[in-house]
Structure 1
Amino acid sequence: MDIRFESREVLKDKPQGALGFGKYYTDYMFIADYDKDQGGWHDARIVPFGPIEMDPASMVLHYAQETFEGLKAYRTKDGKIQLFRPEKNAQRFANSNARLSMPAVPEDLFIGAIEELVKVEKDWVPAKEGESLYIRPYMFASEAAVGVHPAVSYKFMIILSPVGAYYPEGMAPVKIWVEDEYVRAAPGGTGFTKCGGNYAGSLKAQEKAEEHGYTQVLWLDGVHRKYVEEVGSMNVMFLIDGEIWTAPTEGTVLPGVTRDSILQIVRSLGYPVHEEHLAVDDLMAAARDGRLQEAFGTGTAAVISPIGELCYKGEKAVINNFETGKLTQQLYDTLTGIQWGDVEDPYGWTRTVCEA
């Protein structure tokens, strides 16, 4: 699909100092429209970043047909801008859309639009260590109608944001609250998708965790309130007796791109991996007995976030003396090294967009 370009007269000043996460946005954004009666996707364009006009009856505002993705562009030391496994994001985006009765964005359109926008905005890709250009593709129902049915028109958009660390703690361990009152997902629901409703429904538990002095929530399964699933905006893994445990992706856990990458790396390092249900009582027992050696979350935004403490029903378990574990640090260094082009990519995960 041809992409039309509309230039802006004055470019923004690039941010100086600490970037934070999601605070700044680049000069341009991508938009494409979908209309069922016009044959599908059309009018792909890169336009100046700014407000969009929406009908008050746009169906996304009433029935929440909305999906999104998250990935990053990285500036390498040898002068390249590269992506990390964008085809995995394209596939997950298609799966999310299918669950919400939304049309698929073809993989060539998804990746092609990202590459073209990143090329235009290559000067926004940060050069400092640990910084990158966050890419947010998303799609929503734009049809103006009040009535519960799949919309016939949609917008697919991409915005870009230069970012630093997702958590203020950076690679320092975080404290996690094990949530046993609220539920994130249940079998047959939308837990495996990246849709806004999943995150809106998690906010009350997040507030609860923060009130108790914890950074994030560890969710339990929605049926038994017994098995560990994921941590807020991340998948979660535990090193117990020298073996990795993480929840299976059976419909209630997001199939994370970082999760998949880390599992491939730990297997290559010789660690046994259990993608199995792990009871929170067994997890806490392992912590009491000293068998829980390390714990960490994985996700595009934070990459890897070490967990230093769990709190479940008033019991607190400190992990690895509240220090970043050796394996956790090794995985972070390996994955970020591949992403920034500092170490060899034996998996073929990176994709060069352009020369910086």
Structure 2
Amino acid sequence: MSNTPAKSGKSSVSKARRFSVAPMIDWTDRHCRFLHRLLTREALLFTEMVTTGAIVHGDAERHLRLNSEEAPVALQLGGSEPAELAKAVRIAESYNYAEINLNVGCPSDRVQSGKFGACLMAEPQLVADCVRAMRDATDRPVTVKCRIGIDDQDAEESLDRFADAIVDAGVDALYVHARKAWLKGLSPKENRTIPPLNYDRVHRLHQRLPELPMMINGGLENLDMAAAELAHMDGVMLGRAAYNTPMLLAEVDRRFFGSTAPKPELPDIIRAMADYADRECASGTRVNNIARHMLGLANGLPGARQFRQILSVEACKPGADSAVMFQALDALSHPPLAEAS
């Protein structure tokens, strides 16, 4: 963990926003981010959403802990009380986060009951107050992640009003998921796929506010789709596509940042993750908590099914250690005949 306060670093994080991996609850923990950082040195990574209450009144160290190798990482907060958000930001000051992001996009019932997430799109002035309070508490960039609207809102007028409010509050950048969130009638899972994508609406918002750094999210299933959006936007954000097929991240630095470094190869990734697991397990982490993020590494390769099975089953057994990762890698060299054909 790095407890060294970060410098403002607005120029470096601005570059990293060209490609980012979305915050995903229960997925983008520090073990996941360590893996993703092995695959891309340049992209901006995000924490899971962390509520202000968990930081201010709970175990802040558990929620904010970072591996020093992860940077640059954005901390995403969930909350709607400006003073509480400011307290959480001040606590996070001793951790090496590149920016602080406010969640105004999550549609889950639990989030709504706490009056934060996507339901805040109905209260742009409150979000503006939150942004001001967060900016007063840090010199790091303060950003917002939102939807294009909620429920029956007019996605033109309401999104413009929302964006104008947070721009007036001094927001440093905006990430827009190009779908509405339906807070009544759709589950969080359904909200990720059923509301229609509207990339054009996000493009128009950026055309109207060209000085505001703006990134697009939602439905970007591969790097070709992501690259096409850079004709309109300052950056792209991928979520489940990056998580479920993490090796696509190995192409990001060359394709989106002009890197000439060698592309990371799977055996090197496995060895690095095994070394990381050895260090973590010595401190009490269970190897399956790390291995679960690696299931998609072999997607598309002969033996991928056996690779996933070893990491998901063998890693959960008592006494399991990093050896299961090499066992899974070996399955790719000797795939079952049915998979190899």
TM-score by length of 2: 0.26
Greater relative contact order (Cα < 8 A, sep 6+): 1
Q: Compare the two structures and name the one with the higher helix fraction.
A: 2
TM-score by length of 1: 0.25
